[in-house]
Amino acid sequence: QQPQPPRRGAFIVFEGIDRCGKSTQTALLAASLPNSLLRRFPDRTTKTGAIISSYLSHPSSSSASSPSAAATPSPPLPDEAIHLLFSANRWESAASLTALLRAGTNVIVDRYAYSGAAYTAAKGGGGGGGGVAGGLGLEWCKAPDRGLPTPDLVVYVDVAPAVAAARAGYGEERYERIEFQEKVAAAFAELRDERWVVVDGTRPVEEVQRTIEKVAREVVAKAGMEPLREDLWC
């Protein structure tokens, strides 16, 4: 008898605002789900990731005119440019993600293209389109990620910005301000699709974990019978 090719793995994405508990929950799921691997975006270990990491550690707002700009050797990156770098950072990993999935590994990622679109759109003055038709509008923000591997499940860890802000370490990186996070949350809401499951991130960690694990196991069972899609937002 011929050996069967492996069932493909499931592609599970976690999304949410800063300090919603995604990192805790992705780690717990990776530890409990057999044959799984955890990745995160931005992947700060690559060349684009190094630029992104330096951008994020800069404490200023999204404005390109911080007072310290004159003292730095290169001008701050425009919102459009950093957006494209975040997308490039995902495209760098796309082939390795699909290879893992095809080989039967369940791939769990902490943030993906939804964060990419939501965080940049939040700079464009709107939750969603916010009346911005061109640069930084939601459609513009989604465009560079079109055609990436499509998740089988998006777990949205839902926590109100005011609750997240009270958690440890808040405010260390760019974007960690309540007013901005409100806009990010509104943009996420516009990106919701049929693959999303919203979990209440204010429940106890173990309870959230059990809820997510149950959904994830169902998705893993189904994903093995469906082709892998590389048509995000197409």
Which residues are near Mg ion by CB under 5 A?
Answer: 18
Backbone conformation region of residue 176, classed left if phi is above 0, alpha if psi is from -120 to 50, else beta: beta
Q: Tell which one of 27, 30, 37, 56 touches ligand 2DT (CB under 6 A).
A: 56
Q: CB of residue 176 vs ligand 2DT: minimum separation in angstroms?
A: 8
Beta-bridged to residue 109, according to DSSP, are: 13, 39
Instruction: Name the minimum Å distance from CB 218 to ligand 2DT.
Output: 26
How far apart are alpha carbons 73 and 234 in whole angstroms?
Answer: 39
Instruction: Decide which of Mg ion, ligand 2DT, none touches 127; Cβ closer than 5 to 8 Å per partner kind.
Output: none
Q: Does 18 bind ligand 2DT (CB under 6 A)?
A: yes
Residue 11's closest CA among 107, 111, 100? Answer: 107
The least distance separating ligand 2DT from the CB of residue 70, rounded to whole angstroms, comes to 25
Residue 11 or 41: the one with the smaller Cβ distance to Mg ion is 41
Q: Work out the end-to-end distance of the chain between its first and last CA atoms, rounded to an integer number of angstroms.
A: 39
- For residues 25 to 54, the per-residue mask of contacts with ligand 2DT, x marking binding by CB under 6 A and - elsewhere, is ----------------xx------------
Spatial neighbors of 75 by CB under 8 A, at least 6 apart, are 64, 69
- Which residues between 123 and 162 bind ligand 2DT (CB under 6 A)? none
State the nearest-atom distance from the C-beta of 59 to ligand 2DT, in Å: 13
Q: How far apart are CA 89 and CA 47, in angstroms?
A: 9
Query: Is residue 55 at the binding interface for ligand 2DT, with CB under 6 A as the rule?
Result: no
Q: How far is the CB of 6 from ligand 2DT (least distance, A)?
A: 28
CA distances from 76 to 45, 122, 179, 185 (A): 21, 18, 22, 25
